[in-house]
Structure 1
């Protein structure tokens, strides 16, 4: 059996996603709660206990727990606590970057969005990039042996780690890899544990989401949305050619939204063109590029302008990207050639 050299630490990916989801949910819940209660303050007189302090305490607790305790269980709980703490911390970013300590600083939501996007891109790339180095694979195996000693390793996690160790290729690490495999197989382990239940819940949710988003009707709806976007872009360009708007040039944010929207729209137009003329895979990749421009550029300025009102557009774009990712994977699986389509 050929080892999958692309295997990565699925538990690490799940812990990171737990951290990020907890942080995003904390920001949204905190802002909703403060708005609903009239922005109450904890303290009296000259004292004001800002929620950034509770965030710092939670992040410190998570760091200390990881520093003094071994095992996967504490990592899962620390990811959750650290995510909540970071959400409370970053929610007050407006106070940190303004002289008058302004929580309502308008670009704050856009800055929070950029922080989360960068976290996601960097961390996910570090975890899932094709073929982690052999040293990293051995470290994952050693962590699993630690879990085994603590009674925190289950069969789901063990099989995942064994797949990671199968990817070790450097002959210098052959003996160490074999020793780790032997140690992991020395005793029976339970079927599931806290860590694997979190991983399983994440994988189950991902499978259900993929099943729904990969449905043919959903994919057709997404493609119709792109056709509408392409038509809107063409109409907007035509209108811009016959209309002079001096006010738009006065607002840099508006100008950047218009430019990024034009780039995203142009990619959508090309994608729709290839939907009709082919090749289909190139069309899907162009449409994916259109959504990525929207998420990484346009949405930043929309959050600046509309604050949390931009969440609806973000959610729609994220769902469209997920649908396209699934469609592209399906097309690549059935493609007669594995060579990338240079769109």
Structure 2
């Protein structure tokens, strides 16, 4: 079996994020400029070609150079290429090569949603405690060897030593000797984007810790899907649904809203008896909407559905934080889980 990389999930995350940003930025640019075409004389250089080129460049960077830096760069370049590629999926699933094919937005969202699920699955399988001693040793060696040209910071030295803890005295002693042979390097200055990311994490942690924020979230999670189901039913009675072109997407949105509503109402009913179980159901309801309902929402509302996804992700952060807090508190407090 191939050796698993400890940072595999981080590389996949960089790939996904760069792809998502590329699609959103490209759609915004094309909308603002009136969808210009590169070429002339009957030729059109579609950006799917640039996507394929960048995918190849990203793969080449990861294959040619050693270390986490080139792998991250390769993942970002490849993610940009994938974003340029998947943005034109409408041309390849329609006989008339229709870039504006309505379900294309849902297909793009679904592709990235599957990549996020894959990233989380990889993250769960490649944690430090999930790797075998041999895999942890291999990852520690990879980390150390990638620092030979420019040296290793103290933080990365400590990370390498932690990886080989418990693998045996011989391996641990050999790692110490190897680290002694690698030059030391001062940590690089903190980049502006790192400071921005730290501020965002602190803000998210602060928001998740506000108990007063939990109850508005609970009310929204119950009211919004129930309201969606009622609105679709009313549109069906009044004949408004007859104007919809994407009936399949409307049906999918309705089914997802109904499932989400049932889960949310059930969770609200459980709140007074089993708060941990209730917030587990709220979390499940949000995941159903994110991984199923939003695919059809993008088909119906196109890229205007981005706001709904962002809101779902924010709500998921609050609900997940509260669910974790309740699970930690339940054994010590004696309250039912």
For these two proteins, the number of residue pairs brought into alignment is 325
Q: In the alignment, which residue of structure 2 is the partner of 1:321?
A: 316
User: Post-superposition shift, 1:17?
Assistant: 2.3
Question: Which residue number corresponds to residue 35 of structure 2?
Answer: 39
Residue aligned with 2:146, SS: helix
Q: Which deviates further from its counterpart, 310-319 or 70-79?
A: 70-79
Match of 1:53 among 49, 52, 61: 49
Quick one: distance in 2 between partners of 1:51 and 1:278? 55
The separation in 2 between residues aligned to 1:62 and 1:25, in whole angstroms, is 16
Matches within 5 A, 1:277-288: 277-288=272-283
Partner of 2:24: 28
Deviations 1:212-244 (A, max 9, x none): 2332233232122124237647x839x68x969
Q: TM-score, normalising length from structure 2?
A: 0.83
Which one of the candidate residues 269, 273, 280 is aligned to 2:269? Answer: 273
User: SS where residue 63 of structure 1 aligns?
Assistant: helix
- 1:303 matched to 2:321? The reply is no
Q: Which moved more, 1:14-23 or 1:258-267?
A: 14-23
Corresponding residue for residue 258 of structure 2: 262
For residues 92 and 133 of structure 1, the distance between their equivalents in structure 2, rounded to whole angstroms, comes to 38
- CA 1:198/1:34 → structure 2, altered by over 3 Å: closer, same or farther? closer
Pairing 1:291–2:289 present: no
> Structure 1 stretches of 5 or more lacking a match?
1-7
For 2:81, which of 81, 85, 89 is the aligned residue? Answer: 85
Q: Secondary structure at the match of 1:190?
A: coil
Alignment partner of 2:326 out of 298, 311, 331 = 331
Q: Shift in Å at residue 209 of structure 1?
A: 1.9
- Report if aligned partners of 1:71, 1:150 keep a CA contact under 8 Å in 2: no
Q: Which residue of 2 aligns with 1:4?
A: none
Q: SS of 2:97's equivalent? A: coil
Quote the Cα distance in structure 2 between the aligned partners of 1:115 and 1:15: 17
CA distance in 2, matches of 1:14, 1:203: 16
Which residue does 1:220 correspond to in 2?
A: 215
Quick one: structure 1 residues 161 and 274, their matched pair in 2 at CA, closer, same or farther if it must change by over 3 Å? farther
For structure 2, which runs of at least 5 residues remain unmatched after alignment? none
Matches within 5 A, 1:135-146: 135-146=134-145
The reply to whether residue 236 of structure 1 matches residue 224 of structure 2 is no
TM-score, with length taken from structure 1? 0.82
CA contact (8 A) 1:157 1:196 kept: no
Structure 1 CA distance for aligned equivalents of residues 226 and 96 of structure 2: 45
Change beyond 3 A, Cα 1:194–1:108 = farther
What is the DSSP-based 3-state SS (H/G/I as helix, E as strand, rest coil) of the residue aligned with 1:335?
helix
Moved more, 21-30 or 92-101: 92-101
